[in-house]
Amino acid sequence: MDCTARCPKADEAVKPESVMPMNGSQALVRMLSEAGVDTVFGLCGDTSLPFYEAIARLRPSFNHILTRDERSAGFMADAYARFSGKVGVCEGPSGGGALYILPGLAEANQSSVPVVCITSDIDIAQRERGTLTELDQDALFRPVTAWTRTPSGGRDLPWVVREAFRRAVSGRLGATHIGLPLNIQEADVAERDVYMDPGLGRYPAYRPFPAPDSIRRAAECLVESRHPVIVAGAGVLRAGAWTELTALAEMLGCPVATSISGKGAIAETHPYSLGVIGSNGGLGFRHDFIHEADLIFFIGCHAGSVTTLKWTLPEDGTKKMIQLDVDGNRIGVNYRVDIGIVGDAKPGIAALADAVADRLAGGSAGKTDPGRIAEKKCAFMASVEAFISDAVPIRPERFVLELENALPEESLVIADPGTPTPYLSAYYRLPKAGRRFVAPRAHGALGYALPAVVGACYAAPEKKVVGVMGDGSFAISAGELETLSRRNLPVLLIVMTNACFGWVKAGQKAMGTPFFGVDFSMIDHAAVARAFGIEGIRVEDPAALQPALEKGMASGKPMLLDVVVQPLEEANAPVSKWIA
């Protein structure tokens, strides 16, 4: 019998199954699946061909959502992460694709949102030879991510993937980047090295507990204070700590204000909720409580310029300060802090509530009468009633009122910067606590909301997703209407149309300078939507708002409402520098 056809030569011995190689792209696809990734947002390119082939052949457990712009892929992953509690994943090709995807990573990283970005690249051996799309990707991504790495070989790839996920979901959360050269995609990777900790697909992966001494001292200060106020940031939402926060506020009888990013840390219909404070959507009666307080407790809040009116709300040194943050490097950066607590917000607030309860012997401190908060709210809203009118163009205040009345409790709302943010921050009340509202506040990039609704829809398909944008933002990301139409996602898009870059135009008016470079043509956005196969309705009459919104909420398909509103420079927008 001739067995040479069946038996390998000595130098071709069969490798044990545990070390049988797969290529880098296949290894990456398997690791994404093992991390629990269920959605990847991205756009194809020449350098991504092996990666796309691996997805097509292996048919992994995750969906790949083809986008029309790499920037959109980054924004989709950001919104997906915020609403799902899982890592957002986006991908794109080399060259222009890597450049275009940067804004989404910058927003996610500075907002402490866990996103892992993968960009393919040219073969490492072809660097510095004038190869098409060549870029130093690690240098490019380093300023806008928490960590970036290009594997040096196939053996290095699995560690790089695990580390990218670990860094995204640990400590101060953020965006990370993996460079994926063609030769690494095609390199052999040993199967035994290809594994993931599924716990790294969700956040926070680890919850650091605060030091008992800092909890004890903070509890004593809170109980002894006469008029404490809590200022909650996005750290409360990332930790899922809204139940603990509400319990602490009720125990102390303490008002709770939030940053824009912390909106939802407490239900805004709760008796102790003040709402958003600061220069963008903050209201005077809310700021009165901050000025009158003798102690401010920042929780998961960076105390940045917008929330604090450039550090005048409150002025430094006028009150006692407590700050709780998962990142010790953030404590005391903007204010002199009397007590710093390093820890995750959920166990941190829970431990503090237990310590306060011990000192109150199970009772409530009752430091602030909730009736006083309600009285101030009512008085302010009475002063705004004149703007909730039948005037044409539609007043933004009227729009927010109608939107709030039409939205189901479980809705998710995404607001672009510009016209929507101050009005929704100021007047739209979240009826339940939790992550139900997002506005990109790190860099304020226009064009966020339209792609972000795609990410939100995949994060929470059982909820109604609403994206509110100005017409300047709409034009930047309008190509993603095709993605919505192709995927038939039942989202509601609302364009607040005023034919200008309203925020800048209002700023020019406040400065007393001529209007320049801010006006553009009036567009029928409903007609644009219909060209993409999406139902579009133009709303110019205030009486038509309610039925249009109700139709949009009930629709099981994507829909766009083009709402013509009062120009921002003519409005009474709740923006402190314009009011002043």
What b/e sequence results for 441-452 when a residue is b if at least 16 CB atoms lie within 10 Å of its CB, and e otherwise? bbebbbbbbbbb
Separation between Cα atoms, residue 441 and residue 529, nearest integer Å:
27
Longest dimension (CA), the chain: 100
Residue at 525 is within a domain: yes
Q: In terms of pLDDT, which residue wins out, 317 or 513? A: 513
Q: Could you tell me if 255 and 309 lie in one domain?
A: yes
Q: Could you tell me if 245 and 133 lie in one domain?
A: no
Which of 164, 182, 201 is at the close of a domain?
201
Residue at 9 is within a domain: no
Q: What is the pLDDT of residue 535?
A: 98
Looking up residue 83, the CATH number of its domain turns out to be 3.40.50.970
Separation between Cα atoms, residue 154 and residue 189, nearest integer Å:
5
Write the pLDDT tens digit of every residue in 129-162. 999 999 999 999 999 999 999 999 999 999 999 9
Q: Could you tell me if 222 and 188 lie in one domain?
A: no
Instruction: Give me the percent of the chain exceeding a pLDDT of 90.
Output: 90
Q: Considering its fold, how many domains does the chain have in total?
A: 3
- Asked if the model's pLDDT at residue 2 lies above 80, the reply is no
Q: CA dihedral defined by 134, 138, 144, 147, rounded to 10 degrees?
A: 150
What DSSP string describes 155-217?
Answer: TTHHHHHHHHHHHHHSSS--EEEEEEEHHHHHSEEEGGG----GGGGBS-S--PPPPHHHHHH
Residue at 1 is within a domain: no
- Asked if the model's pLDDT at residue 403 lies above 60, the reply is yes
Residue at 484 is within a domain: yes
Predicted model pTM: 0.94
Query: Is the distance from CB of 466 to CB of 413 less than 8 angstroms?
Result: yes
Q: DSSP state, 280? A: B
pLDDT band at 368 (very low <50, low <70, confident <90, very high): confident
Q: What is the pLDDT of residue 348?
A: 98
Which tokens go with 42?
Answer: 């991205």
Which tokens go with 229?
Answer: 């106020």
Residue at 380 is within a domain: no
By residue range, what is the domain housing residue 496?
388-579
Which of 201, 223, 243 is at the close of a domain?
201
pLDDT band at 411 (very low <50, low <70, confident <90, very high): very high
Write the pLDDT tens digit of every residue in 412-424. 999 999 899 999 9
Q: What is the pLDDT of residue 12?
A: 38
Q: What is the pLDDT of residue 21?
A: 77
Q: Could you tell me if 149 and 264 lie in one domain?
A: no
Q: Could you tell me if 365 and 401 lie in one domain?
A: no
Q: Could you tell me if 141 and 218 lie in one domain?
A: no
Write the pLDDT tens digit of every residue in 43-92. 999 999 999 999 999 999 999 999 999 999 999 999 999 999 999 999 99
Q: Could you tell me if 73 and 132 lie in one domain?
A: yes
Instruction: Give me the percent of the chain exceeding a pLDDT of 70.
Output: 96
pLDDT band at 389 (very low <50, low <70, confident <90, very high): confident
Q: What is the pLDDT of residue 20?
A: 60
Helix (H) or strand (E) holding 538: strand 535-539
Looking up residue 269, the CATH number of its domain turns out to be 3.40.50.1220
Write the pLDDT tens digit of every residue in 181-223. 999 999 999 999 999 999 999 999 999 999 999 999 999 999 9
Helix (H) or strand (E) holding 295: strand 295-299
Residue at 95 is within a domain: yes
Considering the chain, what is the average pLDDT of its residues? 94
Q: Could you tell me if 400 and 547 lie in one domain?
A: yes
Write the pLDDT tens digit of every residue in 240-259. 999 999 999 999 999 999 99
Q: Could you tell me if 140 and 52 lie in one domain?
A: yes
pLDDT band at 385 (very low <50, low <70, confident <90, very high): confident
pLDDT band at 6 (very low <50, low <70, confident <90, very high): very low
Query: Is the distance from CB of 322 to CB of 345 less than 8 angstroms?
Result: no
Q: Could you tell me if 108 and 195 lie in one domain?
A: yes
Which tokens go with 573?
Answer: 């927008």
Q: Could you tell me if 278 and 421 lie in one domain?
A: no
Q: Which of 238, 235, 218 is nearest to 301 (CA)?
A: 235
Which of 346, 372, 398 is at the close of a domain?
372
Q: Give residues with Cβ within 8 angstroms of 287, minimum separation 6.
A: 277, 309, 313
Q: Could you tell me if 68 and 190 lie in one domain?
A: yes
Residue at 382 is within a domain: no
Q: Which of 48, 59, 46 is nearest to 25 (CA)?
A: 48
Residue at 383 is within a domain: no
Separation between Cα atoms, residue 150 and residue 172, nearest integer Å:
22
